[in-house]
Structure 1
Amino acid sequence: MTEHSDPYLIISSDCHAGLPTELYRPYLDSAFHRDFDDFLGQRDARREEMTRLGVRNEAFAAKWFEDNEEGLRGGWDTAQRLKELDGDGVAAEVVFPDADAVDSGTAAPFGVGLGLSGDQDPRLGMAGARAHNRWLAEFVARHSERHCGVALLPVTGEVDEVVAEIHRARDSGLGALMIPSMWVDKAPYHDRRYDPVWAAAAETRMPVVTHSGAAPRHEYGDHLGIYVSEVTWWPARPLWFLLWSGAFERHPGLRFGVAESGCWWLPNQLWFMDRLYLGAHGGKKLSPFAELKRPPSEYLDRQVFVCATNTKRRELAQRYEIGVDNILWGSDFPHPEGTWPDTRGWLKRTFHDIPVSETRRILGLAAAEVFGFDTAKLAPLARRVGPTPAELGQPDDQGPVEASWARSREVGRHWLTGHDFPALGVSP
């Protein structure tokens, strides 16, 4: 075996698991059981509303569940899940909530899964989060080398309670924290009240992540196009709140990621922020950015990552601007918008002309470093289930492949390297 022929160690940075909602009751504090009954009683009404607004397609839903009934049990059944991961060639995964993204049949109590937002009742929000976190800790413990569980963290609540939940989640075996992408009427993330939260996340070495899902749907009416145009913007928004407010400077151990929101938006955002910081003409009238000690791109490379679910060819073409090590691929299992159950075919169509060394970083090694996976423990599994470069259509002779990307690699972040922007032939 060689570097170019070894099977890939694949780690999906975005997968989902969750109990059928009614089964969360034993994990929920008894004081909230009556509220939970009320929440369950509203499920049919919520699904009807989703269908009316176009968020749920009745015909698609019926076929999706019919065609994938067995595999979808992997959303909460460990044995079935491992079978599906192996079939996809995935050795390990980062586990977010809400296995069912069609009927919301596995929603965490009180809607604190992918819909986690600052407008939820603080008491119910934390109770629902704790219930899911307790179950998830049990779930990932069965094969802890293969799963990094993402704890739900309603961060806009009482700070002491939030910090305590971080430590409790870490002690239970969970490895990352999902915070609301929207704070609604609560304090925005540049507020210093959150500093103890970021400090605790850094201390426990738990990456903080936002995930697409929450959005101000009440503003959209039945215009679904507005929703899908914005739904990936909301999880990205906390990035510049944390960055410009100096949170990354004050907490250099804090790692922050944006999940299932693509990474197509990042090169232009990064170009804009760097130029602003470095004194571009359009920003000279502004006050100095005293909270920052280095350009935004340096914080990005040091502390930020993107769980770029179902990474697109266009995004891979921008990887030298984004940073190869900042892109973490994800399958989104078992959501229909992901690559499962055709992940192997999807990988071949997407990575066939990407250098093997970079493919290894994007498909697994970068995620192993961010989320703390033990690659030595995963290596035997990867050799058994992982696809080889040849199976992805990548040639043994990597010379021509490397050469085809040489110019893009040299240009990199053109506003810093001084090279012409390759697509437009213009200077930075």
Structure 2
Amino acid sequence: MVATLEKPTAHELLPGIRVVDADTHVSEWYDLWTSRAPARFRDRVPQVRDVGGRWDWVIDGQTLNREGASSAIRKDGSKTLGMDFRDLQLADVHPGAYDLKSRLAFMDREGIAAQIAYPNLLGFGGQKSMLLDAELRNLSMTIFNDAMAEMQADSGNRIYPMTMVPWWDVDLAVKEAERCAAMGLRGINMNSDPHVHGLPHLGDPHWYPLWEACSSLGLPVNFHIGASDESMTWFGAGLWPGHPDEVKLAYGSLMLFVGNMRVLANILLTRVLERFPALKIVSVESGAGWVPFFLEALEYQMREAAFEYRDSPKDIFRRQIYICSWFERDNIVHTARKIGIDNLMFETDFPHPTCLYPDSFHYMESAIEAMTVEERGKIFGGNAQRLYNLDLSQVPF
């Protein structure tokens, strides 16, 4: 059994700070959909079946091929490296990946007050929903959001799943954002490239009703890396041929960060954030070190292209865009001060393959020591509490 208490916890390294982990994932339990679906849909909603002698996720008869438990943390506390995590089932992994009571116990041991949570099965941006017909995909997403709202409430408002919106229909997306906000959910999780499916790009007026709703409801719009068919591949586009899987995985994981650079460039160049100055955007699991270069390069190239702007990308970023970082420690303090201390949030990515586990906060100890008390408070909790409107006063540490 791997002991996580041998190293300092967040509570010990960050005394007085209610730490918020700004990117974690929920491993969907096997009856999440079947236990809630109407009888006529029960055989079609996402579920686990025996496929060729192993349990696998099936959606409307289509096998998703070794999706497993979407966790790299084993039941004994050890961490699986490489692609072997795809063979793990729920019975093999840390129960905190899918079981609420175990998750809260894990958070208590780590000294984490709250977590922002994202999905797995339907895609980080809901892109796998397109495997289903419109009626079934709408139902599947509604069921998922209902289950996540229950999880948030049952956690005592310590786990905050982000709403999955039916982005294939902007009117339905607005209604679902409103419905889930009424249930207490605190943000939406958005597909970054709906134009791949024949819809307008996200800067088009087609999406203005959704941006208006999110602005008025105070719902941040979260873009997780790999949140579309265009951007999601474990092995990445452009990889030279002939590499073994471990090289492909390292390359693909790196290139996912670049995918969110592309998303933010398009958002800033479409000027949609100038039109909606109250709209908040979050780049999730993308890291932060590239942001100072990105903003300087974008402003320079816009000038050279004679592309005038009312508000500079740097100003818009500080006003409306947030970045999540986890493994960066060598230069993260400099990066945070460069992009804005108010715009950076800490994450662990639990329980995914590249997550900071075990000893997440011990890993960050040198960076924590280099921060001021104010910087620690904002990066490790305050920024997320403000952005997602979290009240953690009842958390007992």
Deviation at 1:122, TM superposition (A): 6.4
Pairwise mapping of residues 26-425 of structure 1 onto structure 2 (< 5 A)?
Answer: 26-28=35-37, 30=39, 32-36=41-45, 38-39=58-59, 42-43=62-63, 45-47=65-67, 57=82, 59=84, 69=93, 72-98=94-120, 107=121, 111-113=122-124, 116=127, 121=132, 123=134, 124-155=136-167, 157-183=168-194, 184-185=196-197, 186-214=199-227, 215=231, 217=233, 224=248, 227-276=252-301, 279=303, 282-283=304-305, 286-289=306-309, 293-378=310-395, 381-382=396-397
Write the letter of the residue equivalent to 2:171: D
Which letter maps to 1:205? G
Cα distance in 1 between the residues matched to 2:165 and 2:344: 24
TM-score (norm 1): 0.72
Q: Deviations over 1:108-160 (max 9, x none)?
A: xxx244563696556244333222111000011013432222011232x1221
Aligned partners of 1:112 and 1:125 also within 8 Å: no
The CA distance in 2 between the partners of 1:170 and 1:131, in whole Å, is 15
Conserved? CA contact 1:13–1:93, under 8 Å: yes
Describe the SS at the equivalent of 2:210.
helix
- % identity of equivalent residues: 22
1:257-302 CA distance string (max 9 Å, x none): 010111122111111223345x4xx23xx2434xxx2111111111
TM-score (norm 2): 0.77
Cα deviation, residue 88, structure 1:
1.2
Which amino acid is 2:313 matched to? P
CA contact (8 A) 2:67 2:86 kept: no
* Higher helix proportion: 1
Q: Which runs of 5+ in 1 are unaligned?
A: 99-106, 383-428
Contact preservation (8 Å) 2:166, 2:176 = no
Relative to structure 1, the CA distance from residue 272 to residue 11 in structure 2 (aligned partners, 3 Å threshold; closer, same or farther) is: same
- Aligned partner of residue 149 in structure 2, secondary structure: helix
Distance in 1 (alpha carbons) for counterparts of 2:90 and 2:97: 13
Q: CA deviation at 1:47?
A: 4.8
Instruction: Give the Cα–Cα distance (whole angstroms) in 2 for the partners of residues 163 and 63 of structure 1.
Output: 36
Amino acid corresponding to residue 356 of structure 1 in structure 2: V
Q: CA RMSD in A?
A: 3.2
Asked whether the equivalents of residues 66 and 86 of structure 2 are also in contact (C-alpha less than 8 Å), the reply is no
Deviations 1:286-325 (A, max 9, x none): 2434xxx211111111111012234433333322221111
In structure 2, what is the Cα distance between the partners aligned to 1:24 and 1:56?
29
Query: How many residues of Structure 1 are paired with residues of Structure 2 in the alignment?
Result: 349
Matches of 1:178 and 1:203, distance apart in 2:
17
**More displaced, 118-127 or 87-96?**
118-127
Tell me, in whole angstroms, the C-alpha distance in 2 between the residues paired with 1:147 and 1:47. Answer: 23
Structure 2 distance, partners of 1:30, 1:247, is 43
